[in-house]
Structure 1
């Protein structure tokens, strides 16, 4: 069997050079990333279309590795498309229904751009939600509720903030452990 392609689904800040997803994509020979958008960067529909386009360019099995709003891109995509997915790592989902700290899009802007409500239908593929106990963009209780609704296994990964460079994360070796587990499914 062909090993799954690892498809990185970044959040709204796209490809940050020292982000664990960017570092992971460089490290894994079978990894690709959803291309950054040039226009409509806050459009949910444009983000979902970009994910669908990236998937259309891949033959064979795929494991999705999403972070933050990338998780929401993934769950929105899953409600509209039926392509088989081998599994998904959904890391530090951003709770788009709750107000964000300054410097992030407002709830109104997210609603106006099609992000809300967050889908709560079960995913058609195995998934692991890796959630932080102190993520400023998603309280563990809410992320746990979403994971249950999606049929995902929830993994409490401790006090790691939003699991991004601002929280002290470049490399995140835990991602590779979860990916190995999903590939083995």
Structure 2
């Protein structure tokens, strides 16, 4: 089996030099970081960049994402299920905290639609694991578990570790690397598309893709036709 590529997907505001994602990136041969405008978490744009990176990889892909990057990774990967080996989603952010054009203002909580409707709500056609926290300020554990049920993800809850970022003490993270390696060892031997053979795996393109839906809603939200 050809060696897979690991793509690192930071979240809102990015992952600096002391962040666990940077540490893990330096411990995985050939890992590549997705580049985004970290200050503008626009789901359609982020997912587009991730999908392009997936398309440019000659082999299958593992995605290691954090926070808002988890949401963008799922939105991108669902259209390229034929190339996805698996997703490791760490401290995913609550989609209700974002609108199609970015972070939802606190004083606009009920007036503007969130990006919840831009995310898939069915079981993903590739393996995924959610690593959540019991006191994450960006996503309640109960909500993380609900998304895990929707996507068919294994959910691992860490006790009182905040947003699993630099601020909560997650620089070097041996446990995270261990979990990723164990996750890979389980699924690397399973051919792509055989997690659920009853569901055919093929790339989604054009107007029927998840990203096309996100682009359409985003253009409307930004005032473009």
For the superposition of Structure 1 and Structure 2, which TM-score range results when normalised by the shorter chain? 0.7 to 0.9
**Contact 2:133 2:158 (8 Å CA) reproduced:** yes
Out of 59-68 and 81-90, give the one that drifted further. Answer: 81-90
List runs of 5+ in structure 1 lacking aligned partners.
Answer: none
1: CA distance, partners of 2:52 / 2:113: 20
Cα shift at 1:93: 0.8
2:161 corresponds to which residue?
A: 160
User: Aligned residue for 2:217?
Assistant: none
| Structure (1 or 2) with the greater helix fraction | 2
The corresponding residue for 1:11 is 11
Q: For residue 55 of structure 2, what is the aligned residue in structure 1?
A: 56
Query: Separation in 1 of the partners of 2:46 and 2:142?
Result: 26
What's the CA shift for 1:73?
A: 0.5
Q: How does 1:1-185 map to 2 (within 5 A)?
A: 1-37=1-37, 41-98=40-97, 105-106=103-104, 115-117=115-117, 118-184=119-185, 185=187
Is the Cα contact below 8 Å between 1:132 and 1:161 reproduced in 2?
A: yes
SS at match of 1:13: coil
Alpha-carbon RMSD across the aligned residues, in angstroms, is: 2.5
* Structure index of larger Rg: 2
Quick one: distance in 2 between partners of 1:15 and 1:92? 13
Unpaired runs of 5+ in structure 2? 188-225
